[in-house]
Structure formats: C-alpha cells, structure tokens
Structure 1
Amino acid sequence: MTGGAGRGGGDARAARLRRRWDREASGYDRAFAAAERRMFPDVRRRLCALARGDVLEVAIGTGLNLPHYPADVVGARPAGGAGGRLTGVEWSPGMLEVARERAGRLGLDVDLRLGDAQALETPDGSFDTVVCTFSLCGIADHRAALAEMVRVLRPGGRLLLADHVGSTSWPLRALQAAADLVSVPWAGEHFRRRPMAWVQERPLVVERHERTRAGVIEWLAATVSP
C-alpha cells in the first residue's frame, strides 16, 4: 500500500514500478488519507509507540510513521540533542524525498536512505527494532524481506509489522483474489498475503497481535528468541 523497498521481479518490471511510485509520491498521502482513517486510524500510533533503541523502518514510504515514534528514537532537534536513532530505508527516490521533507518539517534527526528490503545493506544484529507498515503487500519477495528484517535484529529485538491481509470472510477473500488478478501484474500489489503466518513459523515470540475489519487489517509485535 505504501511505497515499498525492493519491488518488482525482473529489471524492466522493477523499473516500471519504481517510476510509478515516484510519480505518485507527491499525491500519495492525499490519495490514501480517507482509506487510512476508515480502515486503520490508530494502527501507526500504537505500533510505532512500541519501538525502542536503534530502529530500522523498512519501506518508509513518505514517512507517515515519523510523527508516531517516541522522541528518543527520532531525536527531536528542539530538545537539542542527541537522537538520530531511526534509520529509514525506501526503494522509491520520489517517496524518499517526501519522507525527508516531512522529517525536516517535524524537526527530526533521522537517517533516510535508498535501499532494497530484500537485500538490506546492514550487518547482522544491527537494530533493536524493525518496523514495516503496509508495504510487504507490495514487495516482490516478501519472505526474503521478512528474513532480512529478522537478520538485522539483535537477540531479543522486536519486529513490528502491520498490513492489509487476506480477510477472514470468504466473500471478501474472493474479492481480494479477483483484485490480485489485476493489481499484482499492474502494480505489484498483493491483497491476500499474511506475514503473521511467516512469523509463526520462525523462532519469534508474538507479544502483541490484533486483527480487525473482517480480518483485513492485521498488526503484530514479535521478539527474536535470545
């Protein structure tokens, strides 16, 4: 749903999808504001409040999560001080530019950089928290991206995920399957993925979990086993 990091499958397709996200970057927030208010109005605030220590946000998009992080994570400049403990990775230069502008308006000291969610340029065990919201649905190999997120977490580190997923209602799942026939080839957008299933198969301990709106919106907090 947001501008992802590392989309596509094949250079030509990836380049086409990146150009699409770049074009949509300036109007993205306005285009999806109504849907966000209706479907998941409080998810970003609740999820980002759980971030601690050195934080990596994967597929940061236009930076919609930035206002919701704790002050000691984003290093608010008005406090003078130390900070800059949030690193954001984004695949679309256009989306990343919007995120940088938002960080500047908010006076946040954060490190925002281009990167691929499927191959993070970060050593193992670099972060205390990894966040990814409403973006795994658009990453070509979401399992590779999830594996990368866990790889860069320290022992006991926290994985925070939110996305739209396959519904618990079969009529809605049927509509999502029909939507996939168009959205996957056109925009790389998957409506029936469910990251929670991947998390449950790994050495991760789920601490918080919520699923709403006929099961379409799901978020979770899980920790890496020490």
Structure 2
Amino acid sequence: MTDTKPKACETPTAKQQRVWDKAAPSYDKQMAFFERVQFAGGREWLAERAQGRVLEVAVGTGRNLPFYAKDIELTGIELSPEMLAIARQRATELDISADLRQGDAANLPIEDGSFDTVVCALSLCTIPDPRRAIAEMHRALAPGGRLLLLDHIGSSWPPVYALQWLAERLTIQLAGEHFTRRQLPLVRSAGLEIVETSRSKAGTVERIYAVKPGVPIEG
C-alpha cells in the first residue's frame, strides 16, 4: 500500500510524488470534467504540433497518448510510479509503442539535444521548480526543436486572480498546486523563441508554442 502520510523534512519533489501516487487511481475521473470545460481541445492542440522524437514531461496517466500521430517516437517521463503504471497500461491498450520512464522534471534522465519536440501539459502548475524544469526541457531539445505547453495560470481578470491567490493559500500547502504562476516569462528567459501563444477562460488557460534557436539537425 502506498504511504500517503507527510514525512518529516520531506522535500518538495518527494511531496509531489506522494501526492500524485495518492491521486493516481481517481485522476482520470477527476480530470474528465475539467478537460471538457476548461481545457477543451488543449491536448489535441499539443499533439497536432508535436513531431519527430517527442518527449512528454510529466506524462501522468497518459491522457495525451490517444492524440499523438502514429509516426512519432514517444518518450514519457513521470515522477509518480502509480501514475506511470496507468500510463503504461493505457499505451498497451492503445497499442502505442512508447518509452515511459520514472524521472524528475528538474533532472530529466535524457541526453542533451535528443528530442525534436518537448510537451508538458497541466503540470508546471505543480512542479516545484518550474524555471529549472523549463531549463531541462530546453536542454532536451535539438536546435530548432519545439516546446509545447498547456497549463492553467494566473487570470488576466483581477477578481479571478484574487480568488486564485486565496485558493493557493490552501492548495500549495496541501498539494503543491499553484494557480497564479505563468510560464511564458520563464520560457522567454530560458532563451526559447515564441511562435504562438493564446489565453482563454478569463486568461486562466495558456497554450505556448516556442522553439529552441538554431538550425534543425537532419537525421
């Protein structure tokens, strides 16, 4: 049985692993509503732009898997063993060949410049160090490679932002969940060039398509 009790001197990463291990059995059911209402079309948007050797950071239970093109070469990294087990089962059911590994977004177990596309969906809101995670995604990309992000962020409407800030007083403590973060400045400061961005739902949902500068290396 998974131990879900907080540990003394628990690191932020260890806390996230514990939280997601506990959430894994009910995660798909909980997310179904939000993906229909708040994030509708987001996973399809990511998958349509992914190409070549694709790395998905925080692959979770594999909810993006049905949307990827059949000709991509997919690697997925996930911190939680319980979430990863569900992703592997989903890949088997969909007859998708994917290299799904346990790992930390802040220390990706991959070689420099080894992917054409890096995807991260609805995860930088909980990853303890999003700046470090984006730097790792940048490292993973080959020159000319694509970074594709989908996440909830701080609203552009002040009354909603205020409610998000209040909610964070509880959610950060309990589950490491942030509602007022925004990833776009971190992507820019990491040296990636923005190709496309959009915000929706009172500015609380953002999609980002950026590229790593440089000429793509021919395989």
What TM-score, normalized by structure 1, do the two folds share? 0.88
Conserved 8 A contact 2:154-2:181: yes
Residue 173 of structure 1 pairs with residue 161 of structure 2: yes
What residue is the counterpart of 1:219 in the other structure? 207
Moved over 3 A (4+): 10-17
What residue is the counterpart of 1:17 in the other structure? 16
Q: How far apart are residue 220 of structure 1 and its match?
A: 1.1
What residue is the counterpart of 1:68 in the other structure? 67
Q: How far apart are residue 152 of structure 1 and its match?
A: 1.0
- CA offsets, 1:83-120, max 9 Å, x none? xx100000000000010011011000000000000011
Partner SS for 1:128: strand
What residue is the counterpart of 2:180 in the other structure? 192
User: For structure 2, which runs of at least 5 residues remain unmatched after alignment?
Assistant: 1-8, 215-219
What is the alpha-carbon distance in structure 2 between the residues aligned to residue 169 and residue 69 of structure 1? 33
Which structure has the higher relative contact order (CA within 8 Å, separation 6+)? 1
What is the alpha-carbon distance in structure 1 between the residues aligned to residue 20 and residue 111 of structure 2? 28
Q: How far apart are residue 13 of structure 1 and its match?
A: 5.1
Aligned residue identity for 1:55: V
What is the alpha-carbon distance in structure 1 between the residues aligned to residue 11 and residue 144 of structure 2? 39
Q: 1:148 aligns with which of 130, 136, 146?
A: 136
User: For structure 1, which runs of at least 5 residues remain unmatched after alignment?
Assistant: 1-9, 74-84
Q: How far apart are residue 48 of structure 1 and its match?
A: 1.2
State the aligned residue count.
206
What TM-score, normalized by structure 2, do the two folds share? 0.91
What are the within-5 Å matches in structure 2 for residues 27-176 of structure 1? 27-73=26-72, 85-176=73-164
> Identity of counterpart residues, as a percentage?
48
| C-alpha spacing 1:16/1:46, structure 2 compared with 1 (3 Å) | closer
- CA offsets, 1:184-217, max 9 Å, x none? 1110011111111112234322112111000000
Aligned residue identity for 2:203: G
What is the alpha-carbon distance in structure 1 between the residues aligned to residue 183 and residue 11 of structure 2? 27
What is the alpha-carbon distance in structure 1 between the residues aligned to residue 155 and residue 200 of structure 2? 9
What is the alpha-carbon distance in structure 2 between the residues aligned to residue 111 and residue 130 of structure 1? 14
Aligned residue identity for 1:211: R
What is the alpha-carbon distance in structure 1 between the residues aligned to residue 145 and residue 10 of structure 2? 33
| C-alpha spacing 1:92/1:203, structure 2 compared with 1 (3 Å) | same
What is the alpha-carbon distance in structure 1 between the residues aligned to residue 22 and residue 211 of structure 2? 36
What residue is the counterpart of 2:195 in the other structure? 207
What is the alpha-carbon distance in structure 1 between the residues aligned to residue 132 and residue 206 of structure 2? 20
What is the alpha-carbon distance in structure 2 between the residues aligned to residue 203 and residue 139 of structure 1? 20
